[in-house]
Chains A and B, each alone.
Chain A
Amino acid sequence: MTVSQGPLPRLLAIDDSELIHRLLRVRLQHEPLEIHGSMDAREGLELARRMVPDVILLDIEMRGMDGFQVLQALKDDVNLQDIPVIFISATASMEDRVRAIDHGAIDFVAKPFEVVELKARVRSALRIHQMVKMLAQKAQVDGLTGLWNRTYFDRRLHQEVSEAVRHGRSVSLVMCDVDGFKRLNDECGHPFGDAVLERVARILQGGRSSDIACRYGGEEFGIILPNTMGTEAMDVAERYRVAIEAESWPGPAGRVITASFGVSDLSLLAGPQGSEDLIASADAALYRAKMNGRNRIEVAPLARPAG
């Protein structure tokens, strides 16, 4: 078995019997695990929200709130829904087992449990959790540039816009498109075009740590700027524009590659707006930047005409 790097996976046991907690602490003490426990369903749920464990052992029959209700609450929470939950129960009726699995529990262990079996099931749940996390991460990253991909961009922008509206904050979007990219590709070949995208991506990723750079598609990038007003977003875009223009490239000396930018600030749009409006207005601004000579930044108008 390989020794895993980094912190130990964390197990949270929610069970109303102190006898079970004592037993788990002793029986799992030699496993590469950090063990946490709660004797109360609600308190356990709170603890799960705070610590976001890697695996949860959950009793069914508890006072106040039973295991199924806890499972439902876990599945309803986006931060917790992927954590594998293993039911441990002395009831173990067929109906309960089926219901547990149908509601999203990954496994079911009957009490009294065989120690070797429990350990194996915990290891298996952790392995699956690890794979799910890895796949989820891979499904959101662009293979060429390593930036977040379009799927992630759409979801995250929607989330940031909702947050901004709820808390009365601003959020800005910068759309960026490499100028004359098709011609570059045709004249210098696709490998060169790819190298340009990678280099531009690295520049866009090197901005403020709170900014979220994504590959929107082709040679177009979208940078989400939470908590940022339009004027500030323009400064950010200008730094990117200058950095891209200053980049030196292989091939003929003095080759300059530039990009155009469209900036939009949610709070400056008219009426209640969603993420689609933010994209449309930033895209329209980007189009104007192209029309007005490229290698420049344009901002979405303060308010869209009524109608």
Chain B
Amino acid sequence: MRIAQDSNPIRSEFADDPDMADIVALFVSELPKRIASMQEALCSGDIPQLRILAHQLKGAAGGYGFPKLGEAAALIDLGIKEGCDENVVRSRLGMLAAFAARIRP
């Protein structure tokens, strides 16, 4: 089931900042790998690792001009911290992945 119908591409708030171009491009190119690592951590039951990755993304995404991505990651971090059911965490990770898929440099 897909709730979010919005599939417009999302661009960095710093897309026009020449200083940032290289590291934003790198961030975007590495993002699928990063999301995949989070999904692997969840599948193998390594929740502490998932939390570290979510926490890092929460702290950094805004810095690369993707504050909404950071908020989505924060929901996972918070969910694990508060001991939410694994299904809740899985669905939040799914939302993060869907959002990440729309991101362009």
Contact = CB atoms under 8 A, between A and B. Distances in A.
Contacts of B79: none
A113 B58 contact: no
A22 B22 CA distance: 10
B19 A112 contact: no
Contacts of A91: 55
B55 A90 contact: yes
A112 B70 contact: yes
Contacts, number: 54
A111 B23 contact: no
A103 B19 CA distance: 36
A17 B23 contact: no
A91 B58 CA distance: 9
A140 to B, nearest CB: 41
Interface residues of B, number: 21
B55 A112 contact: no
A99 interface: no
Interface string A256-292: 0000000000000000000000000000000000000
16 contacts: A16-B52, A16-B56, A17-B56, A19-B60, A19-B64, A20-B63, A26-B20, A26-B22, A61-B55, A63-B52, A90-B77, A91-B55, A111-B58, A112-B60, A112-B61, A112-B62
Interface of A: 16-17, 19-20, 22-23, 26-27, 29, 61, 63, 88-91, 111-113
Interface of B: 19-20, 22-23, 26-27, 52, 55-64, 67, 70, 74, 77
Given A26-B20, A111-B63, 7 more contacts: A16-B56, A19-B64, A22-B23, A23-B23, A112-B61, A112-B62, A112-B67
